[in-house]
Amino acid sequence: MNAAVPAQGVPDLAGPVPIGPCVLLKHGEVFLKGRNRHLFVERLHDNLRGALRGALRGVPGSVWIKEMQNVTVLGGDAPQDELIARARRVMGFVAVQPALRVETSEEAIVAAAVGALDGAAPGTTFAVRARRRHKPFPLTSTQLERLVGARIQEAHGLPVDLTRPDIRVEVEIDRKESYVSGLRHFGQGGLPVGTSGRALVLLSGGYDSPVAAHRAMRRGLRCDFVHFTGAPYTNAASAFKAYALARELNRYQPPGKLHIVALGHAQKQLAVAGAGRFQVVGQRRLMVRAASVLARRLRAQAVVTGDALGQVASQTLSNMALVDEAATLPVLRPLIGWEKQEIIDEARRIGTAEISVLPDEDCCQLLAPRQVSLRTKLEDVAGFEKRLDADELIEEMLASAQVTRPGADEAAPAVTPAPGPVRTTG
C-alpha cells in the first residue's frame, strides 16, 4: 500500500506531498508475521495515530503516514522532535530515523546524503547502505552505495568504515521518492500493543511492577492497572504514586484504566482470622483473586505481576505457586529471571524510576508479620481462609474502587519524559 494515509483527526493532503524532512520508522518483529502481517501493521498504525493525536493538539499543520514494506514513513508540519519523541514510545518500531525525503534521482539522493554529513567532525567514519524498493532504478544498491560513498568522501574527506561506522547513511529508494537518513534512534521494539490481547497489571509503587507492565505491553498486551491500598489504615501516597506510574506507562499504549482498590479492611479480617505469619501470602492470594475477577470484567485474559524469583521472601517458588492457586486467570511474571539492578536500569530507561523512588505507605507493610513464611502450603492458608467470605470481601472492594484513565487527555512531554505533578484520583 503506497497511498499517504492521513493520521486520524487531521485532514488528508491533496496532491503530492512536498519534498522535505520526515521520519522513518523501522518495523521490528511485525515483519515476521507472515499472512497476518497486515493485521499487525494496521494495529501498529492505529497506535501510532493515537500517539500522534496529542502531538497535534494546539499545533497547526497536518501529519501523514505511509507504509512501505517493513518501514513506515511519517511526515508533515508538526515539529519533528515531537513526532520523533512520540514515535519512539510506540511499541513495534525498532528504530526511529529522522530523514530527508527527496525525489528519486541520483543527483537528489547524492545531495541529501552529502548534506546528512554536514558538520561531522574530521575523522568521523561512515558507511552507506541503500535499499531499492523500486527495481527499475538504473543503479543496483551496491553501485548506488559506492557512488554516494565516493561523493561524500569528495565533499567531506571522511573515511569509510563498513563494519563499525560512526554514521550509517541509509537510502531507501521508492518509485517517486526516496529517503535519506544519517541518524538512528532506538525504538521500543516488540509487538504493537493490542495484538496479544489484554491483561490487568498488579501495579504497586515499587520499581518492579511498572517494568513488568512495560514488558507486557512490549509483547503486545494492552494493559489496565489495579493498585491495592491499605485504606482506610494508610494514607493516599501509594495511590498518587500508582496514578503517576500508570500515566507514565500509558504513554506507551492507548491509555488503559487504573483501578484503586482499598484492601485495608480485608487485611484486618485476614489478621483477625488468624493468618499470623501467613498474612503476606494471604494478602497476595486475595489480591490475585480480586484481580482475576476484575480482569474478567475488563475482558483481560491474564494478570501481570512484577515478581522476580527469590527477590524477597514472599517471592519464593512455593509462595508464588500458592498465589497462582488462588488466581482464576494465568499469572504472567515477565521479570521472573531478572536481577534487581537490571530492573532498576530498565525503570530509569522507561521513565518510571523517578516515581518509584518516592516514599509511600505500602499496604503490604500494614499488619506484616515479623517473619514471612518462605514455604507455605495450601494447608497453611486453608484454615484462616475458611473463616473469611472472600467472594463477598472482593465484591465490596471492587464496588468501591476508584477508576481513572491516567494521562488520557494530556499531551506527553517531548523527548525525555519527566513525571509531572502527582494528581489525586478523585
Asked whether 206 and 343 are in contact (CB, 8 A), the reply is: no
Residues between 356 and 395 that touch ligand ATP (CB under 6 A): 363-364
Q: Which is nearer to ligand ATP, 63 or 331 (CB)?
A: 331
Asked whether 233 and 264 are in contact (CB, 8 A), the reply is: yes
Interface mask toward Mg ion for 369-388; x: CB under 5 A: --------------------
Q: Which is nearer to ligand ATP, 172 or 361 (CB)?
A: 361
Stretch that binds Mg ion, among 116-124, 153-161, 204-212, 391-399 (CB under 5 A): 204-212
Residue nearest to ligand ATP (CB): 206
Among 62, 209, 267, 269, binds ligand ATP (CB under 6 A): 209
Q: Which is nearer to ligand ATP, 47 or 269 (CB)?
A: 269
Interface mask toward ligand ATP for 228-257; x: CB under 6 A: x-----------------------------
CB of 300 to ligand ATP, least distance (A): 14
Among 54, 206, 220, 264, binds Mg ion (CB under 5 A): 206
Q: Which is nearer to ligand ATP, 170 or 307 (CB)?
A: 307
Among 47, 196, 204, 404, binds Mg ion (CB under 5 A): 204
State the Cα–Cα distance between residues 417 and 251, nearest whole angstrom.
9
Q: Which is nearer to Mg ion, 206 or 256 (CB)?
A: 206
For residue 57, the Cα-to-chain-centroid distance in whole angstroms is 22
How many Cα neighbours within 13 Å face the side chain of 56?
Answer: 20
Handedness of CA 72, 164, 142, 118 (dihedral sign): positive
Residue 314, contacted partner among ligand ATP, Mg ion, none, CB below 5-8 A by kind: ligand ATP
Q: Does position 82 bind ligand ATP by CB under 6 A?
A: no
Determine the angle formed by the axes of helices 317-326 and 279-297, rounding to 10 degrees: 40
Among 120, 155, 183, 312, binds ligand ATP (CB under 6 A): 312
- Phi, psi torsion values for 416, nearest 5 degrees: -90, 125
Tell me the H-state helices in 174-263: 208-218, 237-249
DSSP string, 78-143: S-HHHHHHHHTTSTTEEEEEEEEEEESSHHHHHHHHHHHTTTPPTT--EEEEEEESSTTSSS-HHH
CB of 313 to Mg ion, least distance (A): 12
State the Cα–Cα distance between residues 355 and 251, nearest whole angstrom.
15
Residue 67, contacted partner among Mg ion, ligand ATP, none, CB below 5-8 A by kind: none
Q: Which residues pair with 128 in a beta bridge?
A: 169
The strand ranges marked E within 302-400 are 303-304, 331-332
Residue 306, contacted partner among ligand ATP, Mg ion, none, CB below 5-8 A by kind: ligand ATP
Interface mask toward ligand ATP for 277-296; x: CB under 6 A: ----------x---------
Q: Which is nearer to ligand ATP, 183 or 374 (CB)?
A: 374
State the Cα–Cα distance between residues 233 and 363, nearest whole angstrom.
9
DSSP string, 348-368: HHHT-HHHHTS----GGGTT-
Residue nearest to Mg ion (CB): 206
- Phi, psi torsion values for 371, nearest 5 degrees: -120, 125
Stretch that binds Mg ion, among 76-84, 205-213, 251-259, 388-396 (CB under 5 A): 205-213
Contacts of 135 (CB under 8 A, 6+ apart): none
Among 49, 227, 241, 289, binds ligand ATP (CB under 6 A): 227
How far are the Cα atoms of 6, 29, 52 from residue 315, in angstroms, in the given order? Answer: 48, 32, 39
Residues contributing to the site for ligand ATP (CB under 6 A): 202-204, 206-209, 227-228, 287, 305-307, 311-312, 314-315, 363-364
Binding site for Mg ion (CB under 5 A): 204, 206
